Amino acid sequence: MDVDLKRRGPSKSKCGAEYTYDVYGLFQCRYDVSPDICKACVMDASLKIKEDCPLEPEAIIWYDECMLRYSSNDIFSSSQEFPEAINSSNITVTNYAEFAPVLEDAMETIILKAAAMTPHFASNTTKFATSEYIYSFAQCTPDISVSRCKNCLDNARSSQLEPSYNVSIYVTVLKPSCVLRVCEDTKQNFVEGSIYETNLELLFTSLTTGSSSLRFYTSTAGDGSTEVYGLFQCRYDISLEVCNACVMNATQKITEVCPLFGEAIVWYDVCMLRYADRNIFSKSETSPGANRYVTDNVTNYAEFAPILEVEMNVVIVRASIAPERYASSKALFTSTEYLYSFAQCTPDISTRQCKRCLEYAFSRMTRCCATSVFVLTFRPSCQLRYDTTGPFLNDESSLADAPQSP
């Protein structure tokens, strides 16, 4: 496949027999990412969707940089809004009364712009306080019309984004035909060409190098007021090749989204990377955080809830006492349906700190979205996940080779 994916927009394909068993597929990358990142994201997505949804008649997977979907029905040039997923943070907007009207204007502007543009893509930065900004982004698949793109984005805003934004500084609404994202943050005062920027580049090089042989690694660069601390952690069931690719993408992403910030963190499905201008090693931290979940709910929650609590407690205890701070489980919650659970902490924190971090993550999960068929809760020092749609981990025998903290 041609690497020059971004300039061609979403590539569509229709494969299968001439009359029956046809399958229709498409992907779309964000139009601001490089062709190489687009290609890597689509390759990862095609592997992941095959693992999570084997032989399903219809499936979709979203990453930060790309979306991939297929169906046994024709999905081309039609606007579809379900299923949908929401990513959000647990940090709230402190001055919502001042923020809300600026957000409304920013959303109206970017939705109209994305719908009218060819391709359907727009991003914007809006200042709403002395040092606070709203970063917004909207995109539709370019095979739908201007009016359908606008309707999709309007519905994403009204149904999910605006209700969530009074409790979160970061919200992304993901639909099959459109994506809408808003983030509120404060600009940092590190400047381009500074020693801090040089130290960040050195740090990212060190972390990327470390990911070729380790799944957890810490590093520093510089000294004094410009010293920067960084670490990454990959899920211990993935290969080192996947870990290295994820960390490389994370260093590029964190540079794009949080340029020269004093502190930043990025989470992917299989890795986490963070840096700060303070020492973050061997410290348990539960904020900031983020949640990934879908709006589809389990149909038998009364039967599901007690089993979820038991399995969460099992993986929390197991992960906290395991040397690699990692654990997973599989349990039936109906006669035919399984609950897959997973917990992980950074291995530089203690058993007690790990257990507390995961317990906090579970408490936030139950408040947020524990009726969903899938939830992944991220914290700087731990993450917790369950999934009723299918297995998401590789063979757990790989844990025998999991490396220890350097």
CA distance 359 to 357: 6
308, 339 Cβ separation under 8 angstroms: yes
327, 342 Cβ separation under 8 angstroms: yes
- Sign for the pseudo-dihedral over CA of 11, 124, 65, 56: negative
Helix (H), strand (E) at residue 292: strand 290-294
pLDDT value for 380: 94
Q: What DSSP designation does 372 have? A: B
Nearest alpha-carbon partner for 276 in 199, 212, 350? 199
Residue 179 in 3-state DSSP? strand
pLDDT value for 202: 96
Nearest alpha-carbon partner for 144 in 65, 75, 69? 75
pLDDT value for 176: 95
pLDDT value for 241: 94
pLDDT value for 230: 97
Structure-derived torsion over alpha carbons of residues 386, 391, 395, 396, reported in degrees to the nearest 10: 20
Q: Mean pLDDT in each 10-residue stretch from start to end of the chain (406 residues)?
A: 30 41 90 77 86 87 89 93 82 74 87 92 78 82 94 88 69 92 63 82 96 96 90 94 94 84 88 94 90 86 90 96 93 86 96 95 87 92 92 54 31
Domains, the chain, ranges and CATH? 5-71 (3.30.430.20), 85-186 (3.30.430.20), 195-276 (3.30.430.20), 290-396 (3.30.430.20)
Name 264's bridge partners: 275
Q: What DSSP designation does 197 have? A: H
pLDDT value for 242: 92
Nearest alpha-carbon partner for 331 in 298, 308, 355? 308
Tell whether omega for the bond before 119 is within 30 degrees of 0, i.e. cis.
yes
